[in-house]
Structure 1
Amino acid sequence: MKVRRTPWWYYLLALVIGLLAGLAIAMAAERFALSLIGAPWMVSMVLLIMGIVILVLALQVHKYATTEPAKRRSGMDPAKAVYTLVSAKALGLAGAALTGWYGGQILVSLPHLDAPYYKRAIMECALALVVCLIDMVIGIIGEKLCELPPTEGPEHPKVKEAKRRRKLDIATDAASGDYRKLRHDSRDRPRS
């Protein structure tokens, strides 16, 4: 299974969708005199804790993936690594969408800054916006940390370079007329 990085425009799209939804909910709250804007402080705390937990897990996956197999102390459950990657992707996209959501609420509420209700809602939304922005960044970084380094298989740059050099040496030997060395090299190569 090959996992691809989340394209940058997904985050932009999530941010714009969140912004439009936040604007719409804040306008509806203003028009119908409903109490729909703002974010309880507890929501910001939970979002921040989730971001920190995912960052710690991503750092563990990165440490395990970049440590040489001989130096690893214990194995890591592959499911834990995959769940961490999926969580980081989800955190990044949710952080982008919620950043737009709270930003939209702030934009609609700014003209009413004099009213205590709107002042409190703007403060709550500003805190939530900052936390969601941090979560988005943690999600992007966490996704990068969960990438596995290339294996020593046929697609690894070192293996490709070694094959290229071997072909170049064979071509050089053939061009120089040293067929004895060329015949000796061909016996050393593994047959495919």
Structure 2
Amino acid sequence: MRISRTPWWYYVIAVVLGALIGTFLVWRTRTTAIAPVGAPWFVSGVLFVLGIVVLVLAWQVHQYVIGKVKEIDVDKASTTLVLCKALAIAGAALAGYYGGELAMCIVWRDVAFYQGLIAECSVACAVTVIDMIIGIVGEGWCQLPPQEGPEHPNAKKRKKRRRDAAVAAVSRPADSAKR
């Protein structure tokens, strides 16, 4: 199974879509009697703890990749990689969402209600950006070195050495027969 790195533009799309949704929802609440939600402190705390847990799991997989740990559970390693990818994309989308809410609420910073909302969205935006970075770094830490197979960078060198050795072995008996 071959898993590639998440392209950088996935994060850009997630941030833009999140910002559009967050901006639209705050704009929509201004024309209705519904107040914008923001992000409770508990949510920011849970997101931060989740990021730390994923970072620790990715560090354990990285220890295996660099050879400091001799064996690791394959399910744990693959689950950690999926968690890193999901955390990075979700962090990007939520950073855009809270950033969009923040951008719309900044205009009303003189109103007491919006001051609390601005503080909540600022912290949530910072935490989700940290989560996105943790996910990207963790995904890099979970990347295994290429196996000794046909796609390995040294495979062509080995194949050329074997071919040269075979050519040399074939040409030697002919040279000794002439003498």
TM-score of the superposed pair, with normalisation by structure 1:
0.83
SS of residue in 2 equivalent to 1:76: coil
1:114 and 2:110 correspond: yes
SS of residue in 1 equivalent to 2:146: coil
Structure 1 CA distance for aligned equivalents of residues 171 and 18 of structure 2: 69
1:64 alignment counterpart: 64
Structure 2 CA distance for aligned equivalents of residues 179 and 6 of structure 1: 50
Structure 1: tracts of 5 or more residues without a match: 184-192
Runs of 4+ residues over 4 Å off in structure 1: 168-171
Taking structure 1 as reference, are residues 29 and 166 closer, same or farther at Cα in structure 2, changes over 3 Å only? same
Q: CA deviation at 1:168?
A: 4.8
Q: CA deviation at 1:142?
A: 0.9
1:1-46 Cα deviation digits (max 9, x unpaired): 1112111111111111100000011112222132223111111111
- Counterparts of 1:1-192 in structure 2, within 5 Å, are 1-67=1-67, 72=70, 75-168=71-164, 173=168, 179-180=171-172
Structure 2: tracts of 5 or more residues without a match: none
Structure 1 CA distance for aligned equivalents of residues 114 and 94 of structure 2: 19
> What is the letter of the counterpart of residue 33 of structure 1?
A
1:188 alignment counterpart: none
Q: Identity over the aligned pairs, expressed in percent?
A: 47
1:107-144 Cα deviation digits (max 9, x unpaired): 11111100111011011101100100010111111111
TM-score of the superposed pair, with normalisation by structure 2:
0.89
Question: What is the RMSD of the two structures over their aligned residues, measured on CA atoms?
Answer: 2.2
